[in-house]
Amino acid sequence: MRLFLLALVIAAASSIHAAPSPQIIQASDPVRPDEAVLVIGEAFGKDCRVELAPLSDGPATAPLENSTPTARKWTAIQPLQSDGRSLKFVIPKAWPQGVWTCRVRSGSKVSESVMLNEPNAWWWNGDEGETATPGGWLRVFGKSLNFGGESLALLRAADGKSTTLTAQKPSNYALAFTLPADLAVGDYQLFVHNGLGGRAAWTAAGTVNIRPGTAWPTEVISVRNFGPKPADALIAALAVAKTKGGGVVYLPRGRYPVYGPLIIPPNTILRGESMELTSLYWPDYDQPPADLIKGVDFGIESLSIYCQNHKNVIGGDDASKRFILRKVRIRANCYFLIEDRGKKFQGRSGPSTHRDCGAAVKPRGKNIEITDCDIYASNYGLHLWNARTGIVARNLIRYGGRGYSIENTERLIFEDNLVEGNNLLAIGNDISSFFSPRCWHVYFAHNKIRQVHGADREMMTLDAAGGAYYGKLAKVSGTRVTLAADPVVGGYAPKPRTDWTDGVVQILDGKGAGQYRFVTANKGREWQIDRPWTVEPDQKSRVSIAPFRGQSLFIGNELEDGGPFQLYAAAHDCIVAENKATRTDGFMVWGLNPHAWGHQPSWFCQFLDNEIVEGNSYGHRTGGFSTIAYDEVKVYDGPLVCGAIFRRNVCQNNASFRLSGATANAIIEHCTVRHAEVGIKIAVTAVGTLLRDNTFEDVEQNEISTK
């Protein structure tokens, strides 16, 4: 008996000191053969290796749910680099493109498997925003959605009946589907497939809500029927629409003066004969109203709007569930007929600065559509505020202050727009969380951004300082996190934010580093997160609680004459791909503690297939691809940019790569630098960098280290 008890004690002691099994937190994709994968995790021993197996490329029949895919024979791959919490390995060059199962082995212990290149759908939009209609469209956004073959979606109804859809012109980041006209109204489980990996590679993508189209009244109320005075007739027609619960207030050819704020009733479309034939105009104001046009659940179509001194031309309301602006021309010029601002000319002086003006368009609420418009604005062209789900497409936005500002917004399609500074003081553009805990899921694609020369000159920036906590944890249990100290909130908001729902808890270092979870509730030191940690942090782990501006896509934009296109911190899992820049400050990813208000790292951002055509920016400035990471008050010395991947990018004519500050585990691979003094600069503080198969042409120095 004593020997038995002794054996138990020895076994227990051995188990206490036994090495833990490897755990994978993150593995980078999309990835092709002969490309490197970054894996972040825990307990990667010195003898660790990767085991990789492709999934079968059989037919993509109905999704195989609640089961583990059967992999082919495992292939062992030696990492190029590894430490206890990260490793990098290369997909064999001879392998065909595929979906791969990946795991890490250390000795006899092996991690759970993760999938590389399985479709990862972050969000979807429908033709009515947060819903789609029978015969309408459905778009899905994320990564690894297509590799050149046929991508599919499957809609499964509550009764089990499935409808399979084929994507039109699919890309790795976006899929578009046309819905059958006879598709029944209801809620459907959505699955997506990228054409690889067979039945096991279907991925769940949430629930799609199929609903009838917007059921606003369609009765046409012609302004012409309300007398010969156009101003009075317009007001009378809107009053009738209000009594009828909405409708279409129609403005035939003509010019319609408006002498005060124009209130559009709910469920009403204000429709002109065309942009060229119908116009509204306001008198000049010394003190303009807050909004020239406003309402809840309304639309404006096919007309022009003219005004001089103004605040917001078209305003919105948080209660709005639908806003439509189609084929509308706006000419909002606070300096009309003025020779020089601040000086009278022909009886007018205008505001002392264009910044006293508001926005040409400032919608709020849900399900926003702004399409095919022509906007000329004194200050902001477009200011989205607390917007949920919408599309801004094919617009001309010329502006004097800021072209677009997108605050506390999600599930937004912003594509095929021209945004152009029309003033030498025109400043940059932002997707931000100045007064909110989250701004994410923005598809920013195929836009042209030009002539941005004022202030910080951002062609696009993810912006806003702020945070709620930096420090250690007292306790972790499932989705509950107890802070070791009281939150200390900083930021731009005039009052410290107490509700941090949708903010993000990030493990900066220590056990579980590299994970983030969204806040679902908080009070004092007690915080709830959306799901448990893959690797639970301990009391030595350091965390940051801050706003979130990640999981957005910046695809195929053309940038010309301006400053940086930058992920200015709090930018986890963003993808910047297939963009082209000329005479700009280039592409940047930041991690920092701005104004000492909160640590905002950026993890796992990818820059793929971009080109800098002309690296010269303005004067002494040169463009390129760069990481910038530091803590202004120097309380944290760990990495603030981690896992940045630069792949297949081209730098021409004085452009180059630069890794600076507290950067960790960056990959620069299959990139090209032409005609530059230096190809790649790497600061001594940038650790764990992998440089692989890059090409240099007419470059004096290829790779140098700097302090």
Instruction: List pLDDT tens digits, range 393-424.
Output: 999 999 999 999 999 999 999 999 999 999 88
pTM: predicted TM-score of the whole model, two decimal places? 0.96
pLDDT reported for residue 7:
40
pLDDT surpasses 80 at 655:
yes
What Rg do the C-alpha atoms of the chain give, in angstroms?
28
pLDDT reported for residue 10:
39
pLDDT reported for residue 19:
76
82 vs 353 pLDDT, higher one: 82
Bridge partners for 431 per DSSP: 406, 462
Total residue length of the chain: 707
- Tokens encoding 35: 């490309």
- Mean pLDDT for 236-246 is 98
Q: What is the pLDDT of residues 532-582, one digit of tens each?
A: 999 999 999 999 999 999 999 999 999 999 999 999 999 999 999 999 999
The pLDDT confidence band at residue 701, using thresholds 50, 70 and 90, is confident
| Non-local CB neighbours of 619 within 8 Å, separated by 6+ positions | none
pLDDT reported for residue 343:
79
- Mean pLDDT for 258-276 is 98
In this structure, are residues 190 and 143 in contact, taking their beta carbons and an 8 Å threshold? no
- Mean pLDDT for 603-626 is 93
Q: Whole-angstrom Cα distance, residue 137 to residue 39?
A: 36
pLDDT surpasses 60 at 4:
no
Closest CA to 293 of 321, 335, 325, 250: 325
Bridge partners for 415 per DSSP: 393, 445
DSSP-derived letter for residue 35 is: -
The CATH number for 120-210, chosen from 2.70.50.70, 3.40.50.2300, 2.40.30.10, 1.20.1050.10, is: 2.70.50.70
The pLDDT confidence band at residue 425, using thresholds 50, 70 and 90, is confident
Q: What percent of the chain has pLDDT over 90?
A: 86
- Mean pLDDT for 260-271 is 98
Q: Say how far residue 173 (Cα) sits from the centre of its chain.
A: 12
In this structure, are residues 302 and 272 in contact, taking their beta carbons and an 8 Å threshold? yes
Average confidence score pLDDT of the chain: 93
| Burial readout 583-601 (b: 16 or more C-beta within 10 A, e: otherwise) | bbbbbbbbbbbbeebbbbb
344 vs 690 pLDDT, higher one: 690
- Mean pLDDT for 239-259 is 98
Lowest mean per-residue pLDDT among 71-80, 215-224, 444-453? 71-80
Helix (H) or strand (E) holding 516: strand 516-523
Closest CA to 24 of 121, 106, 122, 143: 106
The yes-or-no answer to whether 2-116 and 120-210 have a common fold is: no
Q: Is the bond into 30 cis (omega within 30 degrees of 0)? A: yes
Q: What percent of the chain has pLDDT over 70?
A: 96
Q: Apex CA 494: angle with CA 491 and CA 497, to 5°?
A: 60
| Non-local CB neighbours of 282 within 8 Å, separated by 6+ positions | 257, 258, 259, 292, 306, 307, 308, 310
Bridge partners for 187 per DSSP: 209
pLDDT reported for residue 8:
37
Helix (H) or strand (E) holding 416: none
pLDDT reported for residue 181:
97
- Mean pLDDT for 125-148 is 98
pLDDT reported for residue 621:
81
Return the amino acid letter for 22.
Answer: P
Distances (CA, A) of 416 to 373, 401, 445, 505: 12, 21, 7, 34
Q: Whole-angstrom Cα distance, residue 470 to residue 545?
A: 7
In this structure, are residues 609 and 669 in contact, taking their beta carbons and an 8 Å threshold? no
Q: What is the pLDDT of residues 441-489, one digit of tens each?
A: 999 999 999 999 999 999 999 999 899 999 999 999 999 999 999 999 9
- Mean pLDDT for 158-184 is 97
- Tokens encoding 369: 């559509």
- Tokens encoding 699: 């470059």
pLDDT reported for residue 3:
36
- Mean pLDDT for 631-636 is 93
Q: Whole-angstrom Cα distance, residue 574 to residue 588?
A: 12
In this structure, are residues 548 and 572 in contact, taking their beta carbons and an 8 Å threshold? yes
pLDDT reported for residue 707:
62
Helix (H) or strand (E) holding 671: none
In this structure, are residues 378 and 354 in contact, taking their beta carbons and an 8 Å threshold? yes
Largest CA distance in the chain: 109
Domains in the chain: boundaries = 2-116, 120-210, 466-546, 551-707
Lowest mean per-residue pLDDT among 52-61, 209-218, 460-469? 52-61
- Mean pLDDT for 380-392 is 95
For domain 466-546, give the fold. Answer: Thrombin, subunit H (2.40.10)
pLDDT reported for residue 64:
64
Q: Whole-angstrom Cα distance, residue 398 to residue 426?
A: 10
- Mean pLDDT for 192-213 is 95
Closest CA to 153 of 212, 117, 206: 206
Closest CA to 118 of 32, 199, 196: 196
The pLDDT confidence band at residue 69, using thresholds 50, 70 and 90, is low
pLDDT reported for residue 15:
43
| Non-local CB neighbours of 434 within 8 Å, separated by 6+ positions | 407, 463, 464, 466, 491, 492, 493
In this structure, are residues 611 and 587 in contact, taking their beta carbons and an 8 Å threshold? no
pLDDT surpasses 50 at 256:
yes
Domain 2-116 = CATH 3.40.50.150: no
Instruction: Please provide residue 704's backbone torsions phi and psi, each rounded to the nearest 5 degrees.
Output: -135, 155
pLDDT surpasses 80 at 27:
yes
In this structure, are residues 134 and 180 in contact, taking their beta carbons and an 8 Å threshold? yes
**20 CB burial (10 A radius; 0-12, 13-18, 19+):** exposed
